[in-house]
Amino acid sequence: MEHSTPSAELAVSAHGLVKTFGDVRAVDGIDLEVRRGQVFGVLGPNGAGKTTMLQMLATLLPMSDGRAEIFGVDVRTHPHVIRQLIGVTGQYASVDENLTARENLWLFGRLLGISSRQARATAEELLGRFGLEDAGDRKIAQFSGGMRRRLDLAASLISRPPLIFLDEPTTGLDPRTRGQMWDTIRDLVAGGCTVLLTTQYLDEADQLADRIAVIDRGRKVAEGTSDELKSQVGASTLQLRLLDPGQSERARDVVRRVTGEEPVLTPESGGINVALPDANRAADVLIGLREHDLLITSATVQKPTLDEVFMTLTGHATDELETEAAR
Amino acid sequence: MSATTEHRHPGDPGAGTVTARTADGAATLATRPTVSDTVSQTLALAWRALKKMQRNFEQMFDVTIQPILFTAMFAGIFGGAISGSVEEYLPLIITGLIGQTVLTACVATGVQIREDMDKGVFDRFKSLPIARIAPLAGPMLADMLRYLIASLLTFATGIALGYRPGGGVLGVLGAIALAVLTGWSMAWIFAWFGTVGRSAQGVQGISLMILFPLTFLSNAFVQPATMPGWLEAFAKVNPVSLVITAIRDLANDGAVTANVAWALLGCAVVVAVFAPLAVRSYGRRM
Ligand SMILES: Nc1ncnc2c1ncn2[C@@H]1O[C@H](COP(=O)(O)OP(=O)(O)OP(=O)(O)O)[C@@H](O)[C@H]1O
Ligand SMILES: [Mg+2]
C-alpha cells in the first residue's frame, strides 16, 4: 500500500512522528507523505491525534520524536522557514475578536511584511472572494460560526502559501456553507496549492481528498485513495427490496444458497442485504429469485461506504463517532 | 535535506537562507526575521493593542478616571491631616500618585499579555513567520501611552486643585518622561508574571499582592520619617520610593539630581533582569 514518490515531489514527508503529553501518546509513530498538489485527508474520531499531528507539522507544537520535512525543509530546525511556506486554519478560529474582519486581514498582511496599501488591497480581495465584503467592518464578535471560519481561511491565504493545513474545516457548518467550503478548497488546489486537511466526516474525505489516512488512537490504521480503502473491506453489497415482504424468509434462503453468504434482513420490510465477494454474482442471485417466483421492486449493487471501511479498520462504529461529534 | 542549500551571511551569524522545493520551483527563504522585520511587526502589533484600548474603554479606567478620582480624594482626605493644608500636601501627593498609578497600570499590562495568550488569535501569531518577540513587544510599546495618559491626568488634576509644580514646564515634562519610562521598565516584571502565570486572574492576584506593600510602604503618600522605625527603614530602601523621589526632584525642584540617575539605573537593572526572563518564557509558549 505504501507507494514511494520521489522526495522532490513531496510537500510533506514525516517519519515516526510522536507526541506525548505525560503518559498519553497523542500521536504514536505516524508516517505521512503528501505529494505536491494533492488534497490529503486525515480521517479519525475525536481524540485520534489529528490536531496534535497537524500542530507538530505546523511548528505549533514541538515533536517528541520523529522528523518531518515540508518541501524539503526540516520542520524542527527551520521553523521560521516552514512558517513562510504554510497557511494554518486551526480547529478553532484564530482571528482577533477586537478587530473588524478588514482590520484582521490588514494586520496579518502587515505582519507578513506586505506594505500597508498592498495589505489593504489583499484584504479587500479576500473579503470579496469569501463573500464577506458586507461584513468587513463588523466586529468579529458579531460573526456567525461560518463567517468566522471563512475569515480564518482567508487569513491563511494572504501570503498565498503553497501548503495549507485545514483542521476540521467544516465542523459545525450548515450543509450549504459546507459545500461552499469544499468548493473553496477545490479552487485552492486548482490554483496549485497542496492541502492537508483533517476531518471526522467520511463523506468529506471521500469528496475532497485524493488520498486518505485513517488514524485512530495516535496510529495510522490505513492509507490509500478512497477506492483503495473501500476495496480493503473487500466486498460490494447487494441491496434487494421484495415486492411482498411476507416472502422475506424464503427469499433469504434462496440468496444464502446462491451466494454462500449470510444475508441480512434490513429494518424496512422486504429489504435484504448481502455482501458479495464479486459484484457479478448479483446476476446469479436475481436469476435464483426469479426461478422461485420471488418478485423484487429494486436491486442495487453498492461499493461499501467509508463508514463501513472505518468500522472494519478501527473496530468502532462511525455512529459512536458521529454522536460524539454532534455533542 | 539533500537538495537544500544553506549559506550564512558573514556579518550576521544567525541569519541565512534555505531553499524550499515548492511547486513553483525553488523558493529561497530567510531562516529568521531581520531586525527591520521585527520592528515593523512590533509596530503592527502595537497598532492592534491601541485599537483594542480604543474599543474597550473600560480597560482605560485605571489610567483615566482612577487617577483623577484618587488625586482629588487623597488630596482632600489626607491633605489637612498630613501636611496641614491641601495646598501644602499637593507637591507630595501628586508626585506620589503618579508613581502609584503608573505602577498599577503596569499590572494591567501583564494581565493583558496573559489574556492574549489564551485567545485564538495567539495561535495565528504562532503560525506566522514573525519575530517571536513581536507579540510581546507590541503591547508593551502601546501601553506606554497608558502610562503617559495616567501621568498627564494626575498632573492636570493636581494643577486644577492648586498644585504649582516648582520645576516648571520642563521639570514636569521630565517627571512625566521618567514616569513613562519607569512604567515601561516595571511592566517587564509583570509581563514575566503574565508569561508564567496559569490564568489572567492569578497574574492579577500575584501582581497586586506584590504591588500594594511596595506602593503603600513607600514615600508616595507620607514622609517616611512619620513611620515607625522598621517601616521607615523599608520605605527608604523601597525602589518605588527611589523613583518617586526622582519624580519629585524633577517636578517640584526642576533638578536633575542623583536620585534621577539612581532611578534610571534602577529601571535599567529591572529591564536587564526581567526582559530576558519574560522573553524566554514567552518564547517557550510562542
Ligand atoms: N495539551 C495537551 N495536554 C494533554 N493532552 C493533550 C493535549 N492536547 C491533546 N491531548 C490529548 O491528545 C489526544 C489527541 O488529541 P487531538 O486534539 O490531537 O485529537 P483530535 O484528533 O484533533 O480530536 P478532535 O476530533 O476532537 O479534534 C487526546 O487524547 C487529547 O486528550
Ligand atoms: Mg482536533
A56 C-alpha vs ligand 1 centroid, how far in Å? 12
Q: Verify whether ligand 1 is closer than 6 Å to residue A199 (CB atom).
A: no
Q: Is the pLDDT of residue A220 over 50?
A: yes
Rounded CA-CA distance A185/A197 in Å is 10
Total of domains in chain B: 1
For residue A25, the surrounding DSSP H or E stretch is strand A24-35
User: DSSP characters for B260-271?
Assistant: HHHHHHHHHHHH
pTM summary value? 0.83
DSSP, res A59: T
The hierarchical CATH code for the domain A235-303 is 3.30.70.100
- The domain containing residue B131 runs over which residues? 34-285
**pLDDT 10s digit of each residue in chain B, 286 long?**
334 444 444 444 456 888 888 876 788 899 999 999 999 999 999 999 999 999 988 888 888 998 999 888 888 777 777 777 777 788 888 999 999 999 989 999 999 999 988 888 999 999 999 999 999 999 999 999 999 999 999 999 999 988 999 999 999 999 999 999 999 999 999 999 999 988 888 888 988 888 888 888 888 888 888 888 888 888 888 888 999 999 999 999 999 999 999 999 999 999 999 999 999 998 888 7
Which ligand sits nearest to residue A56's alpha carbon?
1
To the nearest whole Å, the CA of B124 is away from the closest chain A CA by: 5
Listed in sequence order, the residues at least 6 apart from A200 whose beta carbon sits closer than 8 Å to its beta carbon are A43, A44, A45, A46, A168, A171, A321, A322, A325
Does the pLDDT value for residue A4 go beyond 70?
no
* A94 CA distance to ligand 2 middle (Å): 14
B273 found inside a domain: yes
pLDDT of residue A172: 82
> Mean pLDDT score of chain A, rounded to an integer?
88
* Phi and psi angles of residue B155, each rounded to the nearest 5 degrees, phi first: -60, -45
Backbone angles phi, psi at B50, to 5 degrees: -65, -40
Domain range annotation of chain A: 7-230, 235-303
Could you report the per-residue pLDDT of A155-172, keeping only the tens digit for each?
999 999 999 999 999 988
The per-residue pLDDT for A171 is 86
How do residues A272-325 score in pLDDT, each as one tens digit? 888 787 778 888 999 999 999 999 999 988 877 766 677 677 766 544 444 444
Do the domain assignments include residue B185?
yes
**pLDDT of A6:** 64
Grid coordinates standing for B279? 522573553
- A233 vs B57, which has greater pLDDT? B57
Confidence grade of residue A5 (pLDDT, cut at 50, 70, 90): low
Asked whether the beta carbons of A221 and A44 are under 8 A apart, the reply is no
Strand, coil or helix: what is A237? strand
What SS3 class is residue A261? coil
Q: Is B28 within a domain?
A: no
Cell triple for A307:
463508514
H-run or E-run covering A275: strand A271-276
Contact A194 B23 (CB under 8 A): yes
CATH class, domain A7-230, is: alpha beta
Cα three-residue angle B92-B96-B101, rounded to 5 degrees: 150
B145: phi then psi, degrees, rounded to nearest 5? -65, -40
pLDDT of residue A234: 59
Please enumerate residues of A whose Cβ is less than 8 A from a Cβ of B: 7-8, 36-37, 58-60, 69-74, 78, 80-81, 83-86, 88, 90, 92-99, 103, 107-108, 110-113, 139, 155, 162, 192, 194
B262: Cα separation from own chain's centroid: 18
The answer for residues whose C-beta is within 8 angstroms of residue B80's C-beta and 6 or more apart is: B86
Give the ipTM. Answer: 0.86
Predicted pLDDT of residue B221:
85
Q: What angle do CA A167, A168, A170 make, to 5 degrees?
A: 135
A93/B120 Cβ within 8 A: yes
Res. A208 pLDDT band, cuts 50 70 90: very high
Q: What is the pLDDT of residue A52?
A: 96
Name the residue among A39, A68, A71 with its Cα closest to residue A56: A68
Closest Cα to atom 31 of ligand 1: A47
Enumerate the H helices of B167-257 as residue ranges: 168-196, 200-216, 229-237, 239-253
pLDDT of residue B4: 42
pLDDT tier at A190, thresholds 50, 70, 90:
very high
Residue-wise pLDDT tens digits, B96-127: 999 999 998 999 999 999 998 888 899 999 99
Contact B102, B183 (CB under 8 A): yes
B147 within some domain: yes
B154 part of a folded domain = yes
Q: What is the spatial distance between Cα B103 and Cα B117, in angstroms, rounded to a whole number?
A: 22
| Residue A145: pLDDT over 70 | yes
